[in-house]
Structure 1
Amino acid sequence: MRWHGVFRRFVLARHYRFAREALVPHFFDALTAYALELSRLGLPYAKEAVAALRELRTLPLPSFTGEVEDVFFSIQAQLAEHWGEEVAGAVRRGLSRNDLDLTVFRAYLRDRALALLADLLRLRQGVLRQAEGHRGVAVVLFTHHRPAQPSTLDHYLLGVESLLARDTERLFRALSTLNRSPLGASALAGAPYPLDRKRLALLLGFEGPVENTLDAVASGDYALELASALAGLGASLSRFLTDLLFWAGQGAFQVGEGLAQGSSFMPQKQNPVVLEHARIYAGRLLGGYHPLAFLNHNTPFTDLNDHSTGVLEPLAEMLFVAEAAVELTRAALEEGRFLPEGLLAEFSPEVLASEAVDLLARKGLPLPEAYRRVKGALPGLRPELLGVEREELLAWMDLEAFFARREVLGGVGPKARAEALKGAKKRLKAHREALAALRARVRLSRRWLQDLEPQEGQEGAEEEGQVKGQEHQE
């Protein structure tokens, strides 16, 4: 068939290149799992198709020539040429590109999301290392862009880590929706053979199938949930990076030499550009959600390219952008250093004004009057205007005393910070274990599906063992 040049350029060739670069292993996984299930049902040539697919996946797939429209038909052409039409046709029994493509897309996005989660956990580990290494280092924090109250750097970083932990949980929840298999749904009504769709899902390392067969090929919410979680991560990173940039400008944070750039005109400058580039990537994540929403908007609830092939490249780009934002932030944090004197550059008696109000209130002065008296003693919090002894005021306003009075859950008190650090480490460990379990499931499935030479009589036993093992994990 001679494809129109415009269609060939903007659709067929583009999609083929993307699939050839990113999706081929997932196509072979899905086709092999499907052939295994057909073989279990005793369909002719299905077992031969399994062996053929396992061998063919080790060979390079041809580039786009226009002879076939996509990677699936390219694989089919290779099977027919080298193993015969019967073998090529066997794997297509009851199979539609609708359920095959959506299975491949979900598997690809799942792997990318798992890799991003690993990057995010490493960033959180880096944040906790910095918190542990800067216990009790005083810092003036701002509200409404004005110096507000003192805190400690580890208290601040533990707050950032808590935010990133929730981003991690949002990604896990999005992954739970994404990590479901459409295979066996066929075009939309279900395959005409008694396939075990739960078994197919487990063979491919999914948590289970998308149960309704129309939903399996028509749903687009998996893409929306993932995009939303990525946008949330972008917002979190952007806020953290904005603070780091502010501190860099104040001489409170210095990025590593390999992450800074000098000026072409001003030799004295060493610019913290890694933070700026990381924030650019984080900002791009915020805009990534809308194309995914528009692709689902006003589309009928059936199989459509809008929410299948249409969402793949935007999501792949978002995952790349998220990886860049996370990794650049981690590198900046690991290679940079905080300068305590810069963190306290905005320290003055005024940032302890609320503490002076509390001192007067504790002495029995009505709170409104205490507030007015402290405000009248500014700037400088002059003791004679407050009506307290200078030594008493200095002792009360001591930073360590300020911190020690705040032993509430999550507060800046030393014990509270130690407990928070302990809890953050425990939470990070739990997230690592959850990620390891998901990755192990996928690795186990892939090892079985790629096995080129199962021993005689071992194929069914190994497959059964894998499925049972994964059911146990469930």
Structure 2
Amino acid sequence: MRWHNLYRRWVLGRHFRFAREHLSDHFFDALTAYALGLAKLGVAEAKEAAWALLVLRKEPVPGFSGQLEDIFFTIDHTLRERFGLEVAGALRRGLSRNDLDLTVFRAYAAERMLRVLTALSDLRRELLHLGQTHRQTLLTAYTHHRPAQPTTLGHYLTGVENLLSRDYQRLRAAFMTTDKCPLGASTLAGSPYPVDRRALAQWLGFGGTLEHTYDAIAAGDWALEIAHALAGLAASLSRLVADLLFWAEQGGFVVAERISQGSSIMPQKVNPVVLEHVRAFLSELMGGPAILGHLNYSTPFGDVNDHGPGVLEPLQSLFYAAEGAVALLRVALQESRFVPEVLAQGLRDRSVLASELVDVLVSHRYLPLAEAYPRVQGMLRALSSQGRTVADLGLDDLQSHLGVGDPELLRALEPERFLARRKVLGGAAPEAQAVYLDYALNRLKLERLELKELKSRRRKALRILATEPLSLLASPPKTAPTP
């Protein structure tokens, strides 16, 4: 059959090239596992089909000729030509492109998700390292775009890591949804051949099996869940990027030369463009749920291309953007430097310590809160009218405005003292920061161990399929769990 040139150009050729570049190994993995499943049932020539696939996967997949519509039919045609109709036909028993394609798509997505999770784990580790380094680096914290309180850069950075730990869990949940195998479901009603679907999932390195054959080939929520999780990550990272750009504008964050660019006309400029590229990647991630949502919306609950091949290029673009954004942000933090005196410049006039002055007045029983707050507020207005700041206060000023001339009130205006009192869980006091760092590092260690285990499981399973698949017929497979 010769396809219409426009159909070849806009659909078949495009999908074929994507599959040839990104999915070929996954197709051979899935087909090999299915051949082994049929061989376990005693289907004639199925074992030979597994061996034939082992031979073929060592050779390049032919390019798109316009005669064969996709990778599956290309492999099927080559099997018939090289190994005969019986071997090729054995592999087709009960096999549908519905469950085959969705198995391949999920395997590809799961692999890319593991890469994103790894990159995010590395970024969080860098944030915790910097948090440890900058536990005592004073920082002016802002609320509503105005200087608000003293804290430390370490406290800020570990706070961002805590936020990203939840993004990690959302991405992990999306991975777990994706990491289920549809193979053996055939199409809708299920296969007439009782292949052990749990064994197929185990051989392919999946974490479980999709429990229902109709859902196995109709579901599109897995890709939508990935898009939402990546958009959530983008929202979180964008806030860190916004702060880094704000500090860079002030000179408090100097981006390394290797990841910045100069101006074509203004020789004095060094532009922190790496952060702008990160922001562009994050913008792309924010659009992911809209694309994947539309691909799923109002489609029949069955095998349709909208959330079949249609999700692959959007997902590939989202994975690329996610890995790029996280990797570039980690490098920006690793290679650039913070300038402590600039980050703390909002503390110089001591106005951000006014709340501490109120608290000391109340805690030392000099004034009730209802009176202390307006008195301090009035004092600030008076100082401003005189062109003075809180840093200029003396005991006479305190006596005049507050009715109290205690030197303890002046000590309340020291940023280090302010921080030392914040010993509450997760607070900015040195002791509280140390407790959080221990907790966060241990949490990250456990997550990285699990991530290593997940990658190892897939790597070991796929290595066997790619090198010695027939060895799987020698012993009964361990039953893979179905979450």
TM-score normalised according to structure 1 size: 0.96
CA–CA separation in structure 1 for the residues paired with 2:64 and 2:444: 44
Residues 181 and 473 of structure 1, relative CA distance in 2, 3 Å threshold:
closer
Q: Quote the residue 2:467 is aligned against.
A: 451
Q: Is the 8 A contact 2:20 2:71 kept in 1?
A: yes
- CA positional deviation for 1:78: 1.0
Residues 115 and 453 of structure 1, relative CA distance in 2, 3 Å threshold:
closer
Q: Tell me whether 1:319 sits opposite 2:319 in the alignment.
A: yes
Residues 338 and 175 of structure 1, relative CA distance in 2, 3 Å threshold:
same
Query: Could you say what secondary structure the match of 2:412 adopts?
Result: helix
Q: Is the 8 A contact 1:39 1:47 kept in 2?
A: yes
- CA positional deviation for 1:194: 1.1
- 1:39-438 → structure 2 map (5 Å cutoff): 39-347=39-347, 348-364=349-365, 365-378=367-380, 379=383, 380-381=389-390, 382=393, 383-384=398-399, 385-389=401-405, 391-438=407-454
User: Which runs of structure 1 show a deviation greater than 3 angstroms over 4 or more consecutive aligned residues?
Assistant: 470-474
How many percent of aligned residue pairs carry the same amino acid? 55
CA–CA separation in structure 2 for the residues paired with 1:189 and 1:303: 12
Q: What amino acid does structure 2 have at the position aligned with 1:243?
A: D
Q: Is the 8 A contact 1:103 1:182 kept in 2?
A: yes
CA–CA separation in structure 2 for the residues paired with 1:88 and 1:453: 17
- CA positional deviation for 1:349: 1.7
> Can you list the C-alpha shifts for 1:5-57, whole angstroms capped at 9, x where unaligned?
11111100000000000000000000000000101111000000011101100
Q: What amino acid does structure 1 have at the position aligned with 2:357?
A: A
CA–CA separation in structure 1 for the residues paired with 2:404 and 2:13: 80
- CA positional deviation for 1:294: 0.7
Query: Could you say what secondary structure the match of 2:267 adopts?
Result: coil
Q: Tell me whether 1:460 sits opposite 2:476 in the alignment.
A: no
Q: Quote the residue 2:9 is aligned against.
A: 9
Q: What amino acid does structure 2 have at the position aligned with 1:80?
A: R
Q: What amino acid does structure 2 have at the position aligned with 1:460?
A: L
- CA positional deviation for 1:471: 4.5
CA–CA separation in structure 2 for the residues paired with 1:471 and 1:63: 36
Residues 473 and 252 of structure 1, relative CA distance in 2, 3 Å threshold:
farther
Q: Is the 8 A contact 2:35 2:91 kept in 1?
A: yes
Q: Is the 8 A contact 1:45 1:90 kept in 2?
A: yes
> Can you list the C-alpha shifts for 1:290-346, whole angstroms capped at 9, x where unaligned?
010011111111111111111111111111100111011011000011110010122
Q: Quote the residue 2:386 is aligned against.
A: none
- CA positional deviation for 1:388: 3.1
Q: Is the 8 A contact 2:241 2:275 kept in 1?
A: yes
Q: What amino acid does structure 1 have at the position aligned with 2:447?
A: H
Aligned residue-pair number: 467
> Can you list the C-alpha shifts for 1:123-182, whole angstroms capped at 9, x where unaligned?
111111111111211100111100000100110011000011111110110011100011
CA–CA separation in structure 2 for the residues paired with 1:388 and 1:51: 90
Structure 1: gaps spanning 5 or more residues: none
Query: Could you say what secondary structure the match of 2:287 adopts?
Result: helix
CA–CA separation in structure 2 for the residues paired with 1:85 and 1:264: 65
CA–CA separation in structure 1 for the residues paired with 2:131 and 2:23: 40
Query: Could you say what secondary structure the match of 2:187 adopts?
Result: coil
Query: Could you say what secondary structure the match of 1:150 adopts?
Result: strand
Q: Is the 8 A contact 1:124 1:164 kept in 2?
A: yes
Q: What amino acid does structure 1 have at the position aligned with 2:353?
A: L
- CA positional deviation for 1:452: 4.4
Q: What amino acid does structure 2 have at the position aligned with 1:429?
A: K
CA–CA separation in structure 2 for the residues paired with 1:235 and 1:435: 23
Q: What amino acid does structure 1 have at the position aligned with 2:473?
A: G
Query: Could you say what secondary structure the match of 1:140 adopts?
Result: strand
CA–CA separation in structure 1 for the residues paired with 2:267 and 2:482: 59
Residues 121 and 453 of structure 1, relative CA distance in 2, 3 Å threshold:
closer
- CA positional deviation for 1:431: 1.0
Q: Quote the residue 2:36 is aligned against.
A: 36
CA–CA separation in structure 2 for the residues paired with 1:110 and 1:471: 17
Q: Is the 8 A contact 1:55 1:452 kept in 2?
A: no
Q: Is the 8 A contact 2:356 2:413 kept in 1?
A: yes
Query: Could you say what secondary structure the match of 1:392 adopts?
Result: helix
Query: Could you say what secondary structure the match of 1:305 adopts?
Result: coil
Query: Could you say what secondary structure the match of 2:60 adopts?
Result: coil
Query: Could you say what secondary structure the match of 2:139 adopts?
Result: strand
Q: What amino acid does structure 1 have at the position aligned with 2:361?
A: L
Query: Could you say what secondary structure the match of 1:266 adopts?
Result: coil
Residues 453 and 436 of structure 1, relative CA distance in 2, 3 Å threshold:
closer
- CA positional deviation for 1:250: 0.9
User: What do you get for the CA RMSD once the two structures are aligned?
Assistant: 1.5
Query: Could you say what secondary structure the match of 1:450 adopts?
Result: helix
CA–CA separation in structure 1 for the residues paired with 2:473 and 2:66: 39
- CA positional deviation for 1:393: 2.1
Q: What amino acid does structure 1 have at the position aligned with 2:309?
A: T
- CA positional deviation for 1:387: 2.8
- CA positional deviation for 1:366: 1.7
CA–CA separation in structure 2 for the residues paired with 1:48 and 1:141: 68
> Can you list the C-alpha shifts for 1:230-257, whole angstroms capped at 9, x where unaligned?
0001001110011000011111111111
